[in-house]
Structure 1
Amino acid sequence: MPSGDAIHGEYDIMVFGGGSAGCTAAIQAARAGKRTALVEKNGILGGTTIVASVNFPGLFHAWGKQVIRGIGWEIIERTAELGGAELPDFSVVPQRHWMHQITVNRFIYSAVLDRLCLEAGVSLRLHEMPAAVLKGEGGTYVALVGKSGLKWYKTNKLIDATGDADVTGLMGYARKKGEQLQPGTLINDIGGYDISAIDTDMLNREYEEALRSGEISRNRHGLYNDLKSGRINMHIQDIDGSESETRTLAEVKARRHLLDTVTMLRRVPGCEKIEVRHFASECGIRETWRIDGEAEVDEQSYVSGYVWPDAVCYSFYPIDLHHHSGFHIEQKMIAPGIVPTLPYRALIPKGSDDLLVAGRCVSGDRMANSAFRVQASCMATGQAAGMAAAIAVDRNCSVRAVPITQLREELERFGAIVPKDAGNR
């Protein structure tokens, strides 16, 4: 246990991970008056939206009405006000669910996150990661490792919004991971070619020969479709983003796939000058660890729209499991009028008194997780975790003892939408 002289600072709440869930959690905790730190390994906030270029958050609306609002929606509105997003007509139910995703300008979006965090009083700790967590008298001690080495901080409550349940693992709580994981994607934009000059038969011959020789890996949609869309689509199989070593392999594999594909395309007339004009700095990871929570959202409870007795937010996205061994996507659409809910207990690792979890790794089975892992749902769970942690600090109680009625009332006071008929189907 670090001595008093070794403690570099003290917070009421420490949030780990500056993505969709972590930013909303930190802003909510700080707005509730708590000394809040937001720890992020990168030098920029936004998580997958920014560093993996998945810059199309959703879904905030279902069946013509808004189901997720609060801090997450405030981020979208502020981005739009600054010219960083255009909002569709949400009163019209789209033919396909993804049509209500909102494309955001990455720079403006990240700058809005900076501004909202600082306005709320959040202490931003970029370029740092948790290295150890120890429970001690009067609080929990966290070792952060950064450019100046390892430093200890004291906190009352913690929120794990790392996406991979990293802090959950450091604290020894149980986690779950499938034997096979969903593939990853490296988002990119390509240009410099003349699609009208491309002979599709020659393109297909070059592609098939490169596949046979092992020069490239199979492409998700076919290269001509990719050239029309201006993006090399991919499913990078057999990757695990849960640890630094395996995440390194994932990143290298994704970049190699992109480079090999572009190199092969340069042999095709019309593509001689093809180039990668943008690529994400990180490979988008769909699935790693999930916590073993006080409650687990399973596929049936999700798609049926079951309203949990301790429901704290809605989630709206179809089951969307990308198969690990190919390009098949198992989708199960949500029936008209149904809006799934997520329970507070799914944010609590079993037996936890001081740790809450928000975002992609909250407690659920693989099928439900493939749906509620999207950004708007992560924002909603982040706000719920931030508010619950603040209440637990005020009441000096376990996160498991936070009164659900109070939590729901406070979330609504801060603009969130909370399921009204908790406990009923």
Structure 2
Amino acid sequence: MSIGSITLQATIPLEDEYDVLVFGGGPAGAVAAIQAAREGMRTALVERTGMLGGTATVGGVNFPGLFHTRLGRQVIRGIGWEAIEETVRRGGAALPDFTVPYPPRKHPRHHILVNRFVYASVWDDAVRGAGVRLRLHESPAVVRKSERGGYEVVLAGKTGLSAVYGKTAIDCTGDANVAALLGLPLEQSERRQPGTMMYHMTGYRLEDVDREALRTLAAEAAAAGDIRHTDHSPPGEGEPPFWRELRSGGGNCNHIVRIDGSDSRSKAEADLQGRAALMRIYRLLRRVPGCADLSIDDFGAECGIRDTNRIVGEARVTGEDYKTGRLWPDAVCYSYYPIDLHLPDDNGIDIRPLADGVVATIPYGALVPRNSEWLLAAGRIVSGDAEAHSAYRVQASSMATGQAAGAAAAIAVRSGVPVRDVDVEELRATLRRHGAIVPDAREGGTS
């Protein structure tokens, strides 16, 4: 029911003009902006929060991966890997021994745990060092095609509205917000994956925790509705609920179910539910003998969202494409993470590793929204079905698609052609020149 309307007739003068506008400062957007700027483009990076790094920093998922296969072959490099190496140099991470194969389903052994502060500072320096105009605490409110090509964008900031122009744009928002504002077709999973509120606990010693008391208290709390089975991971054989969480100090262990996260209202609800879940965990565990001094010493500023919108692209990656390592004729990067479907209403995960020797590729067409002339997409919103998306949505793969989008936007501007007409061989050559690993259908392997 309508309760009235507000009519705005104010004219917002253009504040600035750019060759490339990138929206979203996560792993895809930061890399895309750096890549475009390194190709000589006047580039702006618009980020709604005050920190770069996306899910690794704001969401607390501080283990970007995977860059290597189970058997140690590196399949993603380039600008994202530069940031990892710089984080290591600054003492904010240590690299695992990638030459030691891990057992199937044990891919976290190749995760790289990064210190969130150091990692965020690395992205600050890399983005600004490339000459990118960094626009924090701003979000796109209106995006429309310009009569001269490209897009006119109204940004909402802390003090009101401003307007900018971009010859091209890259949607790295994670939710396809820019594509949605342009009215481009989007796809959603029939049943969306749950979110997770990341956290870390301290103030206890595992050997002092009374396992049987934990089992009894957890059962009583569940029966009373004070705890939910999605607040913890499936316990190991013979273990009580929350034992894995105590053993690991918390982390990627809960599911915030039946949430959206693609718009402000649903994202706020996800954050509220995430903190409520964490409070349930905190209250229960502090009642367990051995955990009286337990505290939450760190948690995500936002609930981590896995699954909202994806573009409908010129090409679409299916689960079968991904699992069989289809080598697309316009492939621009690899992706190696396993199929990783977090169950929508449960606390389990359907993990299906790729077979040894199989590495998935992502085609350029999956980055090009259908009916788009000057917009590209990167990160978890590239075109694919739910199964493939569960794998390529992760940070390393998002970095790779971000670099491809940044290079393609620069070529489109320089050549004066729509993004769908970018020469793929020129794009591949550009990516190689900037250190990326690029699939090559003619050679049948890594170039």
Quick one: which of 93, 96, 103 aligns to 2:101?
Answer: 93
CA distance in 2, matches of 1:28, 1:349: 20
Would you say 1:77 and 2:85 are equivalent positions? yes
CA distance in 2, matches of 1:14, 1:38: 6
Match of 1:226 in 2: 245
CA distance in 2, matches of 1:195, 1:343: 47
CA distance in 2, matches of 1:14, 1:106: 26
Identity %, equivalent residues: 50
Q: Could you tell me the TM-score, scaled by structure 2's length?
A: 0.92
Shift in Å at residue 197 of structure 1? 3.4
Match of 1:409 in 2: 429
Counterpart contact for 1:308–1:422, Cα < 8 Å: no
Quick one: which of 27, 31, 37 aligns to 2:38?
Answer: 31
CA distance in 1, matches of 2:125, 2:406: 18
Aligned pairs for 1:13-412 (under 5 A) are: 13-62=20-69, 63-95=71-103, 96-138=106-148, 139-218=150-229, 219-221=232-234, 222-231=241-250, 233-412=253-432
Q: Could you tell me the TM-score, scaled by structure 1's length?
A: 0.97
Shift in Å at residue 4 of structure 1? 9.1
Instruction: Single out whichever of 157-166 and 203-212 deviates more from structure 2.
Output: 203-212
Instruction: Single out whichever of 88-97 and 10-19 deviates more from structure 2.
Output: 88-97
Q: Aligned-residue CA RMSD in angstroms?
A: 1.7
Instruction: Single out whichever of 137-146 and 387-396 deviates more from structure 2.
Output: 137-146
Counterpart contact for 1:348–1:355, Cα < 8 Å: yes
Q: State the one-letter code of the partner of 2:50.
A: G
Shift in Å at residue 92 of structure 1? 2.6
Counterpart contact for 1:310–1:422, Cα < 8 Å: no
CA distance in 1, matches of 2:408, 2:268: 35
CA distance in 2, matches of 1:193, 1:70: 41
Counterpart contact for 1:32–1:390, Cα < 8 Å: yes
CA distance in 2, matches of 1:240, 1:318: 23
CA distance in 2, matches of 1:269, 1:413: 58
Deviation track 1:140-162 (CA, whole Å, cap 9, x = no partner) reads: 10000001201111110000000
Pick closer, same or farther for the CA change 1:227–1:28 going to 2, 3 Å.
same
Counterpart contact for 2:233–2:348, Cα < 8 Å: no
Counterpart contact for 1:235–1:326, Cα < 8 Å: yes
Shift in Å at residue 268 of structure 1? 2.1
Instruction: Single out whichever of 398-407 and 200-209 deviates more from structure 2.
Output: 200-209
Unmatched tracts of structure 1, length 5 or more: none
Q: State the one-letter code of the partner of 1:324.
A: P
Aligned pairs, number: 425
Q: State the one-letter code of the partner of 1:396.
A: G
Shift in Å at residue 330 of structure 1? 1.4
Shift in Å at residue 422 of structure 1? 5.2
Unmatched tracts of structure 2, length 5 or more: 1-7, 235-240
Pick closer, same or farther for the CA change 1:422–1:331 going to 2, 3 Å.
farther
Pick closer, same or farther for the CA change 1:422–1:240 going to 2, 3 Å.
farther
Shift in Å at residue 413 of structure 1? 0.8
